[in-house]
């Protein structure tokens, strides 16, 4: 007889909740994890963010360190998203085999590139992801072969918009099944547009609004990385619902500077 008070078995990674919430239009808040520290990843997850993004592109984590951070994050309700080094089939498949709840893909500019990358994220017949039933991302052989394809619906696909070319074809990109979030990289986009860091520039704002509009039209989410929580309300109003607020390294740096400034002030 089943004990009704016993805890249920946790959902195997990748867990479906984040993708379901994002596609339902629910705003989510995350933090980039780039210190390369398992402890930092766990602290961020235990703080209660909707998602923590382990950054392999710009952060200090290596692919060899990734599994421990995924396990630490997924021991909490926080979802584990990974920004890959680059959109290559083996990197995409390997990280999904480790059990990431979602992937962020940088530096793609065409619909064909995004369709190809989505195909690497999905098992046949929807894609060409290699089938290995014994991996963590396939439940350590707890799923029957006929059920493996059900994991396709669990993985969140976050694709970055970092260039004028990507903004130009944003409508086509948002129409692709599996492109769940169009995520603006403000620094890269502003540099590529010729006005580095000028986030109030009318042309930059126009690009932001275009991305949000096409995401909304295709029932997808628009995402962005902001500097601090004071900017969240403005971006929510602009149509952005998948919002990253800085990084663990940024929190350490700003907290250290603030504490030192207060201490020096006390010294006179």
Point out the residues that are catalytic.
Answer: 58
C-alpha distances in angstroms, 66 versus 56, 79, 158, 192? 9, 14, 18, 30
Strand partners of residue 244:
30, 225
Residue carrying structure tokens 């995409």:
92
Distance CA 183, CA 224 (A): 5
Distance CA 174, CA 90 (A): 24
Contact in structure between 99 and 155 (CB atoms under 8 Å): no
Q: Are strands 102-105 and 156-161 parallel, antiparallel or unpaired?
A: parallel
C-alpha distances in angstroms, 223 versus 12, 158, 165, 240? 26, 8, 18, 5
Distance CA 64, CA 72 (A): 15
Kindly give the interhelix angle for 111-121 and 89-97, rounded to the nearest 10 degrees. Answer: 40
Question: Both ends of the chain: CA-CA distance in Å?
Answer: 70
Contact in structure between 241 and 268 (CB atoms under 8 Å): no
Contact in structure between 119 and 57 (CB atoms under 8 Å): no
Assign 169 to helix, strand or coil. Answer: coil
């Amino acid at each position: 007889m089943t004990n009704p008070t016993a805890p249920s078995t946790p959902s195997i990674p990748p867990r479906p909740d984040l993708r379901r919430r994002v596609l339902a239009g629910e705003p989510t808040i995350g933090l980039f994890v780039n210190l390369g520290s398992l402890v930092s990843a766990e602290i961020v997850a235990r703080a209660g963010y909707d998602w923590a993004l382990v950054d392999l592109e710009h952060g200090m984590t290596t692919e060899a360190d990734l599994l421990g951070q995924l396990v630490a994050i997924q021991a909490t309700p926080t979802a584990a998203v990974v920004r890959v080094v680059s959109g290559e089939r083996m990197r995409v498949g390997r990280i999904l085999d480790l059990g990431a709840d979602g992937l962020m893909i940088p530096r793609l500019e065409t619909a064909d590139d995004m369709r190809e990358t989505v195909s690497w994220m999905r098992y046949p017949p929807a894609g060409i992801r290699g089938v290995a039933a014994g991996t963590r991302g396939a439940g350590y052989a707890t799923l029957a072969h006929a059920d493996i394809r059900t994991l396709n619906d669990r993985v969140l696909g976050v694709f970055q918009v970092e260039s004028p070319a990507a903004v130009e074809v944003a409508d086509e990109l948002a129409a692709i099944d599996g492109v769940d979030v169009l995520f603006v990289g403000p620094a890269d986009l502003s540099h590529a547009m010729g006005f580095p860091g000028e986030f109030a520039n009318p042309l930059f704002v126009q690009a932001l609004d275009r991305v949000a509009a096409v995401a909304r039209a295709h029932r997808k989410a628009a995402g962005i990385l902001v500097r601090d929580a004071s900017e969240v309300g403005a971006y929510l109003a602009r149509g952005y619902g998948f919002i990253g607020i800085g990084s663990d390294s940024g929190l350490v740096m700003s907290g250290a500077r603030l504490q030192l400034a207060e201490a020096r002030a006390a010294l006179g």
